[in-house]
Amino acid sequence: MNRRSVINELAKTLQISETEAEQILRAFAQVLGPIAAEVPPYFERYFEAQIQLVLQRMEDFQRITQQQIANLQQRMENLQNSTQQQIANLQQQIFELRDSTQQQITGLRHYIDQRIDALAQRIDALERRLDRLEKWLFSVLVMILSGVLAIIFKIYFGG
């Protein structure tokens, strides 16, 4: 693994520019420079392998995270579509219920109007009947009163 590929890989992993990655590596080199002379070559290979393993794990984690985000976005879109469909269905049901209610109200108004007309006709018939009964009663009372007056006249004025 050459220096340029290490810088490129570090920049990509940390999501920074290659210049910043190179500065970080220089800082590590200054700090680890004296220690590097003391480190045997097999440890250096082991250390590079461990770094590669960590980088691979980070890439795997990033890939898995992106997949989970994509799955979550898909689920959110499905949920949103489902919710919108349910809202549309509810709106349709509301319109149908409103129309049904308006039809029922119209039917009830028509029925009430018919019943009111029937009651008005019955009231008119009862008024006419009462008028006839009132006239009949008046004529009966007039005849009774005439008979009583005739009896009174006959008793007092001669008969």
Residue 26's pLDDT is 80
Residue 6's pLDDT is 78
In-domain check, residue 46: yes
In-domain check, residue 50: yes
Print the domain residue range for 57.
39-113
In-domain check, residue 6: no
Higher pLDDT, residue 26 or 111: 111
Report whether pLDDT(54) > 80: yes
Q: State pLDDT tens for residues 80-91.
A: 999 999 999 999
In-domain check, residue 119: no
Report whether pLDDT(47) > 90: no
Q: Give how many domains the chain has, as a whole number.
A: 1
In-domain check, residue 122: no
Higher pLDDT, residue 11 or 141: 141
In-domain check, residue 75: yes
Q: State pLDDT tens for residues 100-131.
A: 999 999 999 999 999 999 999 999 999 999 99
3-state secondary structure 22-67: HHHHHHHHHHHHHHHHHCCHHHHHHHHHHHHHHHHHHHHHHHHHHH
In-domain check, residue 48: yes
List Cβ neighbours of 8 (8 Å cut-off, separation of 6 or more): 18, 21
In-domain check, residue 63: yes
Contact by Cβ (8 Å): 10, 24 = yes
How distant, in Å, are the alpha carbons of 45, 54, 56, 85, 116 from that of 8?
A: 19, 16, 14, 48, 92
Contact by Cβ (8 Å): 7, 22 = yes
